């Protein structure tokens, strides 16, 4: 378990190779750079002699900590081993992989290399982690090392269990590490000083009704009642949240907590720090894909997996916890289960590439019931090119509006996510602009919820900036009169307190302080609400409602909590609350074998 330090130098030793005489360099040390996932360069230093690439150091990067670690470890090693640039990228870190390869290419060009001769050979696989033990034993086996799996691992260990966590991707983190990180909780210590009235009952009603009352009531109640205690548990582990709450997109109320660290890195650091401190009793293996769960005398105990060097068999003598996430990145599953939206085949996703719902088939094969798979959540907030959440300029629901290509508002921007997305599908080219002002970005260094400064986004042409609304309209290519009228109507509603013509009731500041900003967005697949049926103890249930002994599940792999629509800010609650519950109850399993 290695945690990436942005200023660290990664030095990879050369493996001596024969037959390199044909590749000639001007001996020396050279630098190169290429843009990574946030548009800023990954900078490398490459040392060569006349025949070989000797060393590769990463000098500078602005990549997502945790998500990009495997690429920094493996891509330089693969280039050195192969003495070739034709290496495979690391799954889940494609942008970073390409940036490293591009930066090394630039450095080698400066060294006088014939780049064509360095890209024509057989592809080298990026080196993987150390070989997994063939047979592993612990009290509990957890499948998946995203937020739910890691929270379950920590919780299980705190309750006396030894743990094995198996993750198919090259790094831990899942969707959690690339999330917007908002965490809903009724929290009087933060809400009351801001004049916000809230209650657990209100959180319950908004969650239950927001899912069209299709969530299981006792599951929703467990979610909201455990939300704040679980936040306190996270804080007890060292996680820090900012002092103010806000309303996240589709959250319906100002109860979202924002971690101090960007994206979901705060959750991952909290869990991996704990796991590192207890590595004698918690084993985490990446690059290890679980294929099947076996029942021993009716209990879930053993899993079969494929690791970097062959088969891995892991036995959990008390329980198995499934935490494999949803299937938002699996186009065929989306098409198979979708009953609500137009075809999702050509729609992007906010999910990491490993979100393919692997746990569903494994659970169903041993009798688990799957529910609500048709409920697939889309957001109106996808990057127009990638579908990801990055580049989203909004800071909170209260202070921005949505504008279509005609320069007009078209929906209550504080509504449910499905309502806003359906409205966006009805707009020209299924495209909208988010429009806001300097209240959201008092300086150009102010960052969005994805750790990107507004200056970076403007420089990359992912956001537009202007001193007047008329100038902004010209850059957006919308009628200035329509945009000005839309903003004036919004400002009047802010002054009156609403509701406005769209029924919107969430307001804070007028849009009246330059500079003004706009950012383009399109629909994107975000969350799959359906999955494995569990009870309030996170135990997996079969089609008759009976508990499958020893089998637990938590996070987006489960169904029956969010119903037809998930409130924004409830996903991080879900994975942490039910991950913690799954770990506690799995550790408490004492049945004999």
pLDDT 10s digits, 114-154: 888 887 665 554 444 444 446 899 999 999 999 999 999 99
The residue with tokens 């990954």 is 42
User: Could you give the angle at the alpha carbon of 341 between the alpha carbons of 338 and 346, nearest 5°?
Assistant: 85
pLDDT, residue 545, reads 96
CA distance 196 to 220: 22
**pLDDT tens digits, one per residue of 564-573:** 999 999 999 9
* 356 token code pair: 């393919």
Of the two residues 479 and 92, the one the predictor is more confident about is 479
Confidence of residue 397 (pLDDT cuts 50, 70, 90): very high
CA distances from 382 to 104, 280, 421, 422, 435 (A): 31, 41, 10, 14, 15
Average pLDDT over residues 32-59: 87
Average pLDDT over residues 165-180: 94
Q: Give the residue from 325, 336, 331, 326 showing the smallest Cα distance to 347.
A: 331
Q: Kindly list the domain boundaries of the chain, sorted by start residue.
A: 28-118, 135-375+529-587, 378-522
CA distances from 406 to 387, 410, 431, 477, 481 (A): 22, 10, 10, 9, 10
Q: Give the residue from 83, 110, 92 showing the smallest Cα distance to 15.
A: 83
pLDDT, residue 121, reads 63
The residue with tokens 């994975």 is 575
The residue with tokens 């260990």 is 157
Its sign, for the CA torsion 385, 389, 392, 397, is positive
The answer to whether residue 109 scores a pLDDT higher than 90 is no
CATH label, 28-118, candidates 3.40.50.510, 2.40.128.20, 3.90.1010.20, 3.40.50.80: 3.90.1010.20
The answer to whether residue 167 scores a pLDDT higher than 60 is yes
**pLDDT tens digits, one per residue of 519-547:** 999 999 999 999 999 999 999 999 999 99
Same fold, 28-118 and 135-375+529-587: no
Of the two residues 315 and 13, the one the predictor is more confident about is 315
Is the entire prediction scored with pTM above 0.85?
A: no
pLDDT, residue 513, reads 97
Confirm whether 504 is a catalytic residue: no
Average pLDDT, the chain: 90
Confidence of residue 576 (pLDDT cuts 50, 70, 90): very high
Residue 141 burial (CB < 10 Å; 0-12/13-18/19+)? buried
Its sign, for the CA torsion 100, 391, 254, 443, is positive
Q: Over 50-94, what HEC string results? A: CCCEEEEEEEECCCCCCCCHHHHHHHHHHHHHHCCCCECCCCCCH
Which residue in the list 221, 299, 416, 417 is annotated as catalytic?
A: 417
CA distance 258 to 489: 30
Of the two residues 202 and 86, the one the predictor is more confident about is 202
Question: Which segment of 215-229, 299-313, 431-445 scores lowest on mean pLDDT?
Answer: 299-313
Helix (H) or strand (E) holding 30: strand 28-35
Annotation: CATH topology of 378-522:
Flavocytochrome C3; Chain A, domain 1 (3.90.700)
Question: Which segment of 17-26, 234-243, 420-429, 544-553 scores lowest on mean pLDDT?
Answer: 17-26
CA distance 59 to 42: 8
CATH level 2 (architecture), domain 135-375+529-587: 3-Layer(bba) Sandwich (3.50)
């Amino acid at each position: 378990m290695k945690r990436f330090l942005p200023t660290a130098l990664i030095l990879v030793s050369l493996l001596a190779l024969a037959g390199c005489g044909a590749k000639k360099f001007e001996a020396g040390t050279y630098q190169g750079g290429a843009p990574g996932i946030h548009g800023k360069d990954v900078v490398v230093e490459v040392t060569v002699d006349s025949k070989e690439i000797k060393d590769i150091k990463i000098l500078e990067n602005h990549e997502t900590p945790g998500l990009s670690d495997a690429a920094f470890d493996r891509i330089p090693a693969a280039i050195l081993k192969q003495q070739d640039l034709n290496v495979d990228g690391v799954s889940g870190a494609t942008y970073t992989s390409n940036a490293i390869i591009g930066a090394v290419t630039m450095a080698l060009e400066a060294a006088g290399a014939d780049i064509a001769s360095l890209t024509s050979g057989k592809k080298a696989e990026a080196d993987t982690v150390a070989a997994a033990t063939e047979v592993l034993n612990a009290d509990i086996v957890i499948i998946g090392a995203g937020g739910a799996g890691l929270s379950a691992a920590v919780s299980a260990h705190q309750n006396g269990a030894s743990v094995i966590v198996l993750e198919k991707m090259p790094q831990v983190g899942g969707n959690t590490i690339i999330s917007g990180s908002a965490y809903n909780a009724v929290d009087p210590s933060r809400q009351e000083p801001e004049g916000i009235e809230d209650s657990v009952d209100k959180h319950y009603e908004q969650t239950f009704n927001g899912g069209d009352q299709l969530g299981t009531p006792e599951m929703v109640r467990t979610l909201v009642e455990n939300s704040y205690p679980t936040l306190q548990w996270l804080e007890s582990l060292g996680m820090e949240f900012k002092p103010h709450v806000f309303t996240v997109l589709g959250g319906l109320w100002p109860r979202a907590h924002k971690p101090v660290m960007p994206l979901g890195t705060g959750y991952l650091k909290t869990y991996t720090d704990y796991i590192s401190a207890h590595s004698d009793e918690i084993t985490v293996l990446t690059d290890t894909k679980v294929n099947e769960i076996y029942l021993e005398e009716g209990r879930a105990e053993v899993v079969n997996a494929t690791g970097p060097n062959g088969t891995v068999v892991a036995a959990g003598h008390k329980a198995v916890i499934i935490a494999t996430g949803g299937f938002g990145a699996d186009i065929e599953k989306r098409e198979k289960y979708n009953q609500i939206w137009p075809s999702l085949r050509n729609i992007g996703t906010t999910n990491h590439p490993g979100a393919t719902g692997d746990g569903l088939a494994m659970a169903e094969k041993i009798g688990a019931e799957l529910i609500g798979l048709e409920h697939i959540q889309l957001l109106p907030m996808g990057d127009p090119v990638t579908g990801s959440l990055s580049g989203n300029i909004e800071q909170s629901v209260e202070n921005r509006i949505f504008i279509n290509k005609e320069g007009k508002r078209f929906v209550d921007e504080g509504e449910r996510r499905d309502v806003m997305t359906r409205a966006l599908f009805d707009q020209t080219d299924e495209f909208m602009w988010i429009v806001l002002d300097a209240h959201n970005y008092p300086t150009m260094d102010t960052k969005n919820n994805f750790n990107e400064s507004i200056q970076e986004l403007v420089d990359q042409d992912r956001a537009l900036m202007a001193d007047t609304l008329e100038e902004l309209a010209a850059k957006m290519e919308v009628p200035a009169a329509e945009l000005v009228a839309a903003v004036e109507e919004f400002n009047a509603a802010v002054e009156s307190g609403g509701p406005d013509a769209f029924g919107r009731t969430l307001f804070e500041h007028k849009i009246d302080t330059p500079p003004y900003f706009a950012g383009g967005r399109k629909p994107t697949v975000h969350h799959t609400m359906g999955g494995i049926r569990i009870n309030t103890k996170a135990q997996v249930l079969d089609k008759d409602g009976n508990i499958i002994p020893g089998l637990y599940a938590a996070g987006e792999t489960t169904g029956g909590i969010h119903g037809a629509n998930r409130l924004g800010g409830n996903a991080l609650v879900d994975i942490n609350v039910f991950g913690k519950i799954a770990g506690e109850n799995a550790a408490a399993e004492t049945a004999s074998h």
